[in-house]
């Protein structure tokens, strides 16, 4: 099995650190308790410290010898009136390492995903964190309110008179993401040149799967947190195969696919009914599509 250090370079590890550190300098960090706890430590570290971390623990494949690099604490918080949501709190090394693993996916897949041109296919997907490549480094822009408002605005724009909407979300979405399927998307959406850049070969899948299983203590689920930037991206990436297939999945005799508007796993499939179609036929075909 390959080592994490063969895939996560010093440059990428440093990039992940800069993302976490820059967030602590922003005015929004107060909304995340984990980052509030880590702020002082994150801001006290230098690039030199992080390079030493990488040299001593990542490059030497000692990640799993120190739980600080892969473990997290589970915290349950209320969800609506009767449910709870599992959040995970990281140490500084674990937070940086998790973001570095995620940046491998971002760096490998972003180019191909942008070329899919979903807007032309009437597919609109929103998620809280966007990664932007600038001046040789990835930066993370997290604006939950702006992205959610854009989602609502697009939904209102897309829905017209006599449209039929199939609306649903995925129960326990983040907890049910299978690591093997998530990791498999690397080979689906990453060009060979990007895989070679990060020394990713066919046997590299086991590296990512073992890391995620060690982090979560099971073969499915990714961490949730107010500002787990990479988790936002994973949640978006995991449903891209669904985005690609939805125009075909939603076709029927009396319903025509109009658009898909989703916010992570909050999914709205908008369909246009043929004039004069009886409601019973619409309901029957909706059940078939669902």
For 139-197, the three-class secondary structure string (H helix, E strand, C coil) is: EEEECHHHHHHHHHHHHHHHCCCCEEEEEEECCCCHHHCEHHHHHHHHHHHCCHHHHHH
Q: Which residues contact 244 (CB under 8 A, 6 or more apart)?
A: 116
| Cα–Cα distance for residue pair 189/205, rounded to 1 Å | 14
Kind plus residue range of the DSSP H or E element containing 131: strand 129-134
Q: Residue 232 class from Cβ within 10 Å (0-12 exposed, 13-18 middle, 19+ buried)? A: buried
Contact 215/68 with Cβ under 8 angstroms? no
Written as tens digits, the pLDDT of the chain (290 aa) is 678 889 999 999 999 999 999 988 876 656 778 888 889 999 999 999 999 999 999 998 888 888 888 888 888 777 777 777 778 889 999 999 999 999 999 999 999 998 998 988 999 999 988 899 988 999 988 888 889 999 999 999 999 988 999 998 888 899 999 999 999 999 999 999 999 999 998 888 999 999 999 999 899 999 886 666 789 899 999 999 999 999 999 988 888 999 999 999 999 999 998 887 888 888 888 888 88
The predicted pLDDT at position 183 comes to 96
Residue 270's pLDDT is 96
pTM for the complete prediction?
Answer: 0.91
CB atoms within 10 A of CB 154: 17
> For position 42, what pLDDT does the model report?
94
3-state secondary structure of 261: strand
pLDDT at position 225: 65
Q: Tell me the C-alpha distance between 250 and 252, whole Å.
A: 7
> Is the CB of residue 180 less than 8 Å from the CB of residue 219?
yes
Q: For residue 274, what pLDDT is reported? A: 83
């Amino acid at each position: 099995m390959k080592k994490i250090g063969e895939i996560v370079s010093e440059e990428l590890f440093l990039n992940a650190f800069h993302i976490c550190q820059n967030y602590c300098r922003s005015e929004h960090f107060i909304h995340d308790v984990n980052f509030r706890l880590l702020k002082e430590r994150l801001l006290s570290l230098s690039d030199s410290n992080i390079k030493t971390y990488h040299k001593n623990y990542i490059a030497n494949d000692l990640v799993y010898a120190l739980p600080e690099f892969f473990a997290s604490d589970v915290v349950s918080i209320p969800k609506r009136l009767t449910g709870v949501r599992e959040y995970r709190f990281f140490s500084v090394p674990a937070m940086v390492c998790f973001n570095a693993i995620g940046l491998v996916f971002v760096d490998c897949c972003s180019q191909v995903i942008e070329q899919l041109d979903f807007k032309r296919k009437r597919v609109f997907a929103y998620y809280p964190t966007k990664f932007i490549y600038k001046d040789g480094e990835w930066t993370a822009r997290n604006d939950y309110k702006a992205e959610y408002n854009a989602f609502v605005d697009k939904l209102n724009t897309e829905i017209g008179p006599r449209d039929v909407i199939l609306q649903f979300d995925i129960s326990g979405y983040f907890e049910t993401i299978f690591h093997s399927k998530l990791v498999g998307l690397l080979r689906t959406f990453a060009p060979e040149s990007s895989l070679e850049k990060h020394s990713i070969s066919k046997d590299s899948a086991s590296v990512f799967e073992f890391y995620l299983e060690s982090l979560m203590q099971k073969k499915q689920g990714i961490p949730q947190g107010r500002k787990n930037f990479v988790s936002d991206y994973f949640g978006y990436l995991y449903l891209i195969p669904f985005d690609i297939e939805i125009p075909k999945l939603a076709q029927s005799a009396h319903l025509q696919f109009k658009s898909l508007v989703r916010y992570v796993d909050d999914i709205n499939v908008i369909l246009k009914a043929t004039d004069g179609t009886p409601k019973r036929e619409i309901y029957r075909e909706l059940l078939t599509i669902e």
